[in-house]
Amino acid sequence: MSLFLPDRRSVLAGAALLVPGVASAAARYDAVLWRGPGKPPVAAPTYASLSAAVAAAPANGTKPFRIFVARGVWDEQVVIDKPFVHLVGQDRKASVISHLAASGLTAPDGKRWGTFRTPTLFVRAPDFAARNLTIQNAFDGLAEMSKPGGLHSHDGGGPQAVALMLDKGSDRARFADVDLLSYQDTLFPDAGSSLFERCLVTGSYDFIFGAGQALFRDCEIRSRPRPVDPIDGYIVAPSTSIEQPVGFVFVKCRLTKEAGTKKGSVYLGRPWRPSSQFADGRYGDPKFQGATAFIDCWMDDHIAPAGWTEMWYTGKDGNPRTMLQPEDARFSQFNATGPGAAKFERGRWLSASEARAMTQVVLARL
C-alpha cells in the first residue's frame, strides 16, 4: 500500500523557486556568479565568488535575494548568514559549489579541520533555498581510505568531509533538484526544519546526520562502496532531541548504490548520541534519541536485512564504547519495496495514519 501525501509546496514561502523554469534567464536576479569573458547569462550585478554575492544581500531581508550560479566550479567555503538567500543554478551538474576539507587534514590555521569545520556550505540564517546545482566536498574519501596510512579513524582525524551543514540559525531551508556529494558525513541538517525534493545525496558512513527535522521527498539516496571496511556504511545517524517529535523523514525516495557496494552491506541507520557536560562529568546525553522514518521508499539489495544497527557513545561510567541500540532510538519504516526490502525486525513498522502524521509534522514547520 502506498501512502498518499498532499503536495504542500504551494504554501511554502518562495515556492516559485521550486517550479521548473525558474532558472531561466527571463527570471529576475539580484546577483550572478560570473567570471567572464563575455556577457553574463542574466542581467544582474556580477560577483566572482559566492561569498561576495552573499555579502551584498540585505542583513535582515524579508524577501528572496536571488543569486544566479552560472556554470563553473566555485571553489570556496561559504557561510550563509543572512535570511532569504536563494541560489539558482544554471546547470544542475555544471553549477558546482565546491571545497576540499576533511576532518583529519590540516586547515590553514595549522590545526586539523575536525568534522564540524569541513562543510563547503554553512547555512546559519532562515529561509535559505537552493535549486538546480551541486554542492560538494571535493575530498576523495575512497582514494584516501584505500591508500596505506590513509585516514580511517572515526575521531577528529578521520575522513569526514561535509558538503552542506544546516547550522544554528537555519530554519525553513528548501532544496530542489540539488546534488549533495561527498563520501562520509555528506549532509548535516543539524538545526531547524528543511525540505529536500528530487535531490541526490551520496556517501558511505553516516552520510545524513544531525539533530534537525528534515523531509526528503522523491530523492535519490546513493550509497558508495567502502572496500576497506567490513560493511559499506550507514545512511543516517540522527541525533534528534527527545523534545522533537520527528527527525529525518524519507518519503517516496530511492535508496540506490554505486557499483562495488556489496549486497546487504548498508544499514538504514544508527543512533548518534553526542555528549554533554553534566555536574558529574561529560558523557552521552540521554535527551538525544535519534528519529528517522523511511516511508514508501524503494530499496536496492545493498540494504542490510536487519535494517538498523547500534552505535557507540560515551557512557556515564566513562566507557567510550557504550552501545546505543536502535530499539533505544525512534527508527521506523512503512511500505518498503525493492530488492532490499525486508522485515527489518530492528525498526518499528508504522501504520498508514502514523506515517501520514509524521510527514505532516515536518511540513507544518516549513
The string of pLDDT tens digits covering residues 160-212 is: 999 999 999 999 999 999 999 999 999 999 999 999 999 999 999 999 999 99
pLDDT at 55 over 90: yes
- From the number of C-beta atoms within 10 Å of its C-beta (0-12, 13-18, 19+), residue 345 rates as exposed
Which residue segments constitute the domains of the chain, with CATH numbers given? 74-365 (2.160.20.10)
Question: How confident is the prediction for the chain on average, in pLDDT?
Answer: 91
What gap in Å lies between CA 87 and CA 177, rounded to an integer?
A: 12
Mean pLDDT over residues 243-267, rounded? 97
Residue 183, all three cell numbers = 563520501
Task: State yes or no: pLDDT of 105 exceeds 80.
Answer: yes
Which of 4-8, 82-86, 110-114 is the most confident on average? Answer: 82-86
8 Å CB contact between 180 and 221: no
What is the pLDDT averaged over residues 119-130?
98
pLDDT of residue 8: 47
Hey, what's the cell of 105?
587534514
* H/E segment holding residue 243: none
Q: Give the per-residue pLDDT at 2.
A: 57
Q: Are 270 and 288 in contact (CB under 8 A)?
A: no
Residues 61 and 85: their CA atoms lie apart, in Å, by 9
Active site amino acids: 185, 206
Secondary structure (3-state) at 361: helix
Task: Point out the least confidently predicted range of 17-26, 132-141, 337-346.
Answer: 17-26
Evaluate whether 158 touches 139 at the Cβ level (below 8 Å).
no
Confidence at 153, pLDDT banded by 50, 70, 90: low
> Is residue 22's pLDDT more than 60?
no
- Would the pLDDT of 321 be above 60? yes
Antiparallel, parallel or unpaired: β 85-89 and 65-69: parallel
263-314 pLDDT per residue, tens = 999 999 999 999 999 999 999 999 999 999 999 999 999 999 999 999 999 9
pTM tops 0.85, yes or no: yes
Confidence at residue 158, expressed as pLDDT on a 0 to 100 scale: 84
> Does the pLDDT of residue 351 top 50, yes or no?
yes
| pLDDT for the residue 4 | 45
What is the percent of the chain with per-residue pLDDT over 70, rounded to a whole number? Answer: 91
Residue 257: its pLDDT value, please?
98
Confidence of residue 24 (pLDDT cuts 50, 70, 90): low
Percentage of the residues of the chain whose pLDDT score is greater than 90: 82
Residue 176: the pLDDT is: 98
> What is the pLDDT at residue 356?
93
Grid cell for residue 16 = 516559485
Q: Do the bridges between strand 275-278 and strand 281-284 make them parallel or antiparallel, or are there none, so unpaired?
A: antiparallel
- Quickly count: other Cβ atoms within 10 Å of residue 329's Cβ: 26
Computed from CA positions of residues 265, 102, 213, 256, in that sequence, does the dihedral angle turn out positive or negative? negative
* pLDDT, tens digit (0-9, with 9 covering 90-100), for 8-17: 443 343 434 4
Average pLDDT, integer, range 57-73: 96
pLDDT tens for 81-103 read: 999 999 999 999 999 999 999 99
